[in-house]
Amino acid sequence: MGVGSRVTSGMSRLKRQQQRKSDERFAERFAQQWASMRAASRVEEEPVSIHAGESNYAPARVPYGVDLAAQWSWRLLVVAAAGLIVARGIGMFAVVVLPVVIALLLAALLVPVVEVLHRARLPRGVASLLVVLGAIGLLVLLLTFAGQQIAQGANDLAKQVVSGLEQIRVWLKTGPLHASDSQINAYIKSAQDAVTTSNEQIVSRLTEVGTALSHIVAGFFIILFATYFFLADGNRIWSWVVRIFPRASRERADSSGRIAWTSLTAFVRATVMVAFTDALGVMLVAAILQVPFVFAIGVLVFIGAFIPMIGALLSGSVAVLVALVAQGPVVALIMLGGVVAVQQLEAHVLQPFLLGRLVSVHPLGVIVAIAMGVLVAGIAGALVAVPLVASLNAVVLHLADSSRTDREAEELPVGDAP
């Protein structure tokens, strides 16, 4: 038993030694395989250089007409968007923008008087103040005379309106309608009901009128102060505006502004002459026909004539209505003929002679400018639309001429340059 146990223990030690050697050989082979795998992976991770050949695809070509249309389209869209933004901005700030523009027109009209006073050794600020006060005094004088004339003839005109309404009542009864008294009274009652049942609308209208009056008062003071500063410090204001532009563009900006100012000054002076002629012609016809409120009609026509082509006709229609009420339909028709004759004189003689040489704006452009001015700012927009378009047209022509001159100068040889 002793010998057998020793043999058994020896065999178990031999097996353990063999197992240990087998495990060592397996670990050695696994380490060799792992090292070879890592070496192979490092070889695969190295960057491989790829050489590209020539492309076998032809570039896509757009037809020239489509390319040109696309370029013009996006530019027109940008210009239209900018114009819309400017129009919306003017509409939002019309209470400030329009008085400033009107003050600019007044400054263009009054600046020669300031220059005369300044050459007479008066300081420019004092001369500007005297001119503004004189303009206000003249305006107050005109409105006072017109108001006194209206106040003096209002009672007579009211009596004539009553008699005219009575004539209409008689005509409704004896004319082709043969309306009875009950029908006429029913029409009058319905008109009265329409007036009395619209109290809420009347209140809202009164509120709108109050707001409009406040805007008018604010605009008057803006016009007053802006006109004074344009006359007194116009050069310094313009110098500040020019400095906003880039340095390379300041020379052209300055020349364009001076061209626009020259065109605006000529336009305003010629328009004043045309308006004075229109007012004088309508007043003469009204005086011959013995239509009341002659001076007030003349003031209204003078203001309305600042709207080219249609202003004198629209303001002259008031004279026709006054003649209809005061003198009857025959005199009203004669007055209408006189207003149309004055308007034709303006359109075919005064406008081409005075404005045609100064401002080259086509009549269609004038109509479009007036319509756009009315849409943006009503009557005030119609008053300032045409002079602004005239100034813009002068600037565009000036810049086009400058660009053509620059190109011609660049194309000349160096020895032939002036």
CA separation (Å) from 336 to 29, 150, 245, 305?
123, 21, 52, 16
Residue type for 5, please? S
pTM reported for the whole predicted model: 0.64
Degrees to nearest 5, angle at CA 271 with 269 and 277: 110
Cα distance between residue 268 and residue 355, in whole Å:
10
Task: Enumerate the domain spans of the chain.
Answer: 95-244, 248-403
How many other CB atoms sit within 10 Å of the CB of residue 181?
Answer: 10
Report DSSP letters for 57-94, one per residue: -PPP---HHHHHHHHHHHHHHHHHHHHHHHHHHHHHTH
Q: Which residues contact 279 (CB under 8 A, 6 or more apart)?
A: 298, 299, 301, 302, 305
One pLDDT digit (tens) per residue for the chain, 418 residues:
455 666 577 677 777 777 777 777 777 777 777 777 766 655 444 555 666 666 656 666 778 888 889 899 999 999 999 988 887 777 777 778 888 888 888 888 888 888 888 888 888 888 889 999 998 888 888 778 777 766 665 565 565 555 656 666 666 666 665 666 666 666 666 655 554 554 455 445 545 555 666 777 788 888 889 999 999 888 889 889 899 888 888 888 888 888 888 888 888 888 888 888 888 888 888 888 888 878 888 888 887 777 766 677 777 787 888 787 777 778 888 888 888 888 787 777 776 666 656 666 666 777 777 778 777 767 667 777 778 888 888 888 888 877 666 666 566 554 444 3
* Residue whose pair of structure tokens reads 């400030």 in the numeric block: 96
DSSP calls for 22-63: HHHHHHHHHHHHHHHHHHHHHHHHS-----------PPP---
Position 263 scores a pLDDT of 83
CB neighbours (10 Å) of residue 115? 13
What integer pLDDT is reported at residue 72 of this predicted model?
Answer: 92
Residue 224 CB partners (closer than 8 Å, separation 6+): 103, 132, 136
Closest CA to 295 of 282, 304, 308, 305: 282
Among 113, 138, 132, 293, which residue's Cα sits nearest to residue 224?
A: 132
What integer pLDDT is reported at residue 209 of this predicted model?
A: 55
Please count the other Cβ atoms lying within 10 Å of the Cβ belonging to residue 278.
27
Contact 376, 101 (CB under 8 A): no
